[in-house]
Structure formats: structure tokens, C-alpha cells
Amino acid sequence: MIEYKNKSDLQPLIPYKTELSDAELEKLALQIRRDVIELTYYSGTKSSHVGGELSAADILAVLYGTYLNLKPEEPEWKDRDIFVMAKGHCSGALYAAMAWRGYFKREMLWNEFNRAHGLLQEHCNLYLPGIEAATGSLGMGLANSCGYAWAMKHDNQKDRRAYVLVGDGECTEGQSWEAMGLAAQLKLDNLIAIVDYNKYIISSTTYEVMNLEPFENRWLDFRWHVQRINGHNIGALRTAIEKAKDPATAPGKPRVIICDTVKGKGISFMEKDAFQWHAGHLDDMLYAQCMKELGL
């Protein structure tokens, strides 16, 4: 049995159960944010891609707390939904959601993130059960998800879906647009893409590097069903995913939910200086400030 050096006093805010209310999902999102700060502080580098992890916390809370049909005790279960974290550098938030769902013990978060020989690498690690795609290179996740969605259709698995969380930065890449076209061509209406549109990439804003607007129109031109919502509103997320899941919504069309989000959501100094917190290091003082702002 592995003995872990780092110990955390953080306790789950909400136990796992099959149906969570909006208020409980908000608690889960807060737990994910706290866990991201904690695992960043304890990581081998005291760093993570923390800004984009915090912007995606509500999305991941709703997916793992309500919609993903999974069996953590049987990661290769043939009837599971597929989730691909296309923005694979933001794996810390995904690992926090997976730990809550029961894929591994919480202690791994504080002891195996960004460490040599640890399973919780900063880009999604295929050696970890429950990770469906290695997405360190941006732009590949949506194409990968097309493959999963097509296989489900090919096998006539009508109750399964492929979900993919896409970063706005990778939406500037050609492979993403090729995948958008392919999904429409193959009529993958069992594919639900969710875009974490926090509008910052590693070098600047999306507006300055490669303006995606009019973002909705671009997806519409590629023959997708499009919704755009506040990505930090739990109710809006649930409503949008329910609509995207409904086969009657747009038969034959893949679905995208564009989530307007805030990079570094929940931490004031990260929100104010999002460019500097695409990735970042936490010393003792910054760690304490983060936890104070997250209610501890």
C-alpha cells in the first residue's frame, strides 16, 4: 500500500449520489475549485494551468454530478458515456471531479499531480482509468470525440453519448474546424461539445490572437445546433445539456454549448490578471489568499 506524504484537511462538501440539486451542484463546483488550488499547491511544481481549470469547474460539476453515465468501478463499461477533456492541460479540475465520482482516492490529488511516476500528469494521462483520450496536444479532442460518437452510432447504441470539453484557444486550430465539418457530415447528433469560452489563451486574448467572433455563426455555418449560455450558471448549464441530449432537438446535427466563462473564476487576483494566470505557481501567501476567497 502506498504511503502518501502530503495530507490535506479538505473534506468533500457533498457526497456522491445519483441526483443533485442545483444548490448541491454549486457546492460540488466550489469543492472542485478548492481541490484545484490544493492540488496545485501540493504538486511537484507547485503549479498547474489553474486559470482554465477554475473557469471549467461549474461545467465539470454538472457533467460529473448529473449527466455522465459512468461506472468508476468498471471504467471500460461498454454502455458508458464518453467524456473527452480536449483542453487536456486543465486536467487538475478533471481529476478533482473524477476523485469525487470515485475513480481513485482523494489522497492522489495531493501526492501524484505533476510528479515523476505519478498517474495525475498535467496533461490527461491514458494510464489513469477513466481517461478516454490523451489530449496534451490541443485540437485533437474534438476529432477524437467524433470517432467515439460515430462508433456508438455504428453499433446502434442509442442511449450513449460522447461529450467533449473544448478550449477556446484550440477552436482557433484547423484540426478543430475539420472535426466540426466531419461531425456534421456524419450527422453525429449524439455528440455534445461544450466550449469553455473564457477568451484567454497562453499569449493574450482570443480577440487579439485569433478572433473567434461571431462564434455562434461559425458553428451554425458548419451545421451544428448551437446554444450560448453563462457557463457559471448551474441552471443554465442543466437546461442546455438537457436540450442537447434530447434526440428531438435537432435530428442529425451535432450539438455545441458555448459557455461564456471567466478565467480564474472565484479568485479575484486571477480574474483581474487572467493573462498571467493561464498557468501559475502558488506560494504559501497566494495559497492562503485563494483558500480564503473560496471560503476557508
Residue 3 belongs to a domain: no
Residue 17 belongs to a domain: no
Residue 137 belongs to a domain: yes
Q: Distance between CA 224 and CA 292 in Å, rounded?
A: 42
Residue 221 belongs to a domain: yes
Question: What's the confidence (pLDDT) of residue 47?
Answer: 93
Tell me whether residue 210 is exposed, middle or buried, using C-beta atoms within 10 angstroms of its C-beta: 0 to 12, 13 to 18, 19 or more: middle
Cell of 225: 445546433
- Which residue segment(s) compose the domain that 201 sits in? 22-293
Q: How confident is the model at residue 18 (pLDDT cuts 50, 70, 90)?
A: confident
What is the pTM assigned to this prediction? 0.97
Q: Report pLDDT digits (tens) over 64-82.
A: 999 999 999 999 999 999 9
Domain count along the chain:
1
Q: Report pLDDT digits (tens) over 116-137.
A: 889 999 999 999 999 999 887 7
Cell 455562434 belongs to 216
Residue 63 belongs to a domain: yes
Question: What's the confidence (pLDDT) of residue 119?
Answer: 95
Residue 59 belongs to a domain: yes
Residue 5 belongs to a domain: no
Question: What's the confidence (pLDDT) of residue 138?
Answer: 85
CB-based contacts of 283: which residues, under 8 Å, 6+ apart?
46
CATH number, domain of 214, equals 3.40.50.970
Tell me whether residue 35 is exposed, middle or buried, using C-beta atoms within 10 angstroms of its C-beta: 0 to 12, 13 to 18, 19 or more: buried
CB-based contacts of 284: which residues, under 8 Å, 6+ apart?
none
Question: What's the confidence (pLDDT) of residue 192?
Answer: 98
The enclosing H or E element of 60 equals helix 57-62
Residue 2 belongs to a domain: no
> Does the CA dihedral 22-273-259-135 come out positive or negative?
negative
